[in-house]
Amino acid sequence: MALLNIVSYPASVLATVGTAVEKFDESLERLAADMFETMYAAHGVGLAAPQVGRSLQLFVMDCEGTKIVAANPVILSAEGEQGGDEACLSLGSLGAELRRPAEVRLGAQDVHGNSFEVEGRGLTARCLVHETDHCNGLLFIDHLSPLRRDMLKRKFRKVLKRER
Ligand code: ZN
């Protein structure tokens, strides 16, 4: 296994709709294993392929006991609403309050291509929609009002400058 480089906003791969996963082979298994290792090292609960520079419909997640590899994920249903802060490994430590569905059902394929469905509520639901968004070229800041989004983007550019 190997640690992968996590891509930061505003990399274009983060704003690109991922390609569908069609080959469920050893290299996909290796990528998923590397993504888990990278996610754990960064203390995250989810990581999507575009975040490691691979424009694919693929994410890994280990959140509140739900540990999955999801290829070609689709949100099948979403119910209710929850408040709370959201953050992203591609946006450093910046977080923002964002309303998300309280309960979601996700359909996807595992690393071998077998279809499965998983339900999540609370933080798990938030993570499922956040990672599925990544596969579709969306970041959580894309759901904020233009004013709040611009504020966060400016803050993030400052953080990046300071780190370089
Ligand atoms: Zn993210």
pLDDT-derived band of residue 53, with 50, 70 and 90 as boundaries? very high
Instruction: Give mean pLDDT, residues 19-26.
Output: 98
pLDDT-derived band of residue 26, with 50, 70 and 90 as boundaries? very high
| Average model confidence (pLDDT) across the chain | 95
Please tell me the distance from the alpha carbon of residue 5 to that of residue 154, in angstroms, as a whole number. Answer: 23
The verdict on residue 58 lying in a domain is: yes
Instruction: Give mean pLDDT, residues 145-153.
Output: 92
Domains in the chain, number: 1
Instruction: Give mean pLDDT, residues 130-146.
Output: 97
Task: Please tell me which residue in 81, 103, 131, 163 is annotated as part of the active site.
Answer: 131
**Structural domain harbouring 53:** 12-82+100-139
Whole-number Å distance, alpha carbon 47 to ligand 1 midpoint, is 7
The verdict on residue 111 lying in a domain is: yes
Q: What does the block give as tokens for 96?
A: 């923002």
The verdict on residue 40 lying in a domain is: yes
Please tell me the distance from the alpha carbon of residue 65 to that of residue 60, in angstroms, as a whole number. Answer: 13
The verdict on residue 148 lying in a domain is: no
Catalytic residue check, 131: yes
If you count them, how many residues does the chain have? Answer: 164
Closest to 33 measured CA to CA, from 14, 15, 56, 60: 60
Per-residue pLDDT at 1: 78
Whole-number Å distance, alpha carbon 122 to ligand 1 midpoint, is 16
Whole-number Å distance, alpha carbon 88 to ligand 1 midpoint, is 4
Whole-number Å distance, alpha carbon 134 to ligand 1 midpoint, is 7
Percentage of residues in the chain with pLDDT exceeding 90?
89
The verdict on residue 35 lying in a domain is: yes
Q: What is the CATH number of the domain that holds 123?
A: 3.90.45.10
The verdict on residue 45 lying in a domain is: yes
Angstrom CA distances, 106 to 1, 30, 45, stand at 27, 23, 16
Residues 62-121 have pLDDT tens digits of 999 999 999 999 999 999 999 999 999 999 878 999 999 999 999 999 999 999 999 999
The verdict on residue 42 lying in a domain is: yes
Predicted TM-score (pTM) of the model is 0.96
Please tell me the distance from the alpha carbon of residue 159 to that of residue 141, in angstroms, as a whole number. Answer: 16
Whole-number Å distance, alpha carbon 131 to ligand 1 midpoint, is 6
Helical ranges in 42-138 per DSSP H:
123-135
Per-residue pLDDT at 159: 81
The verdict on residue 149 lying in a domain is: no
Please tell me the distance from the alpha carbon of residue 156 to that of residue 9, in angstroms, as a whole number. Answer: 8
Please tell me the distance from the alpha carbon of residue 45 to that of residue 59, in angstroms, as a whole number. Answer: 11
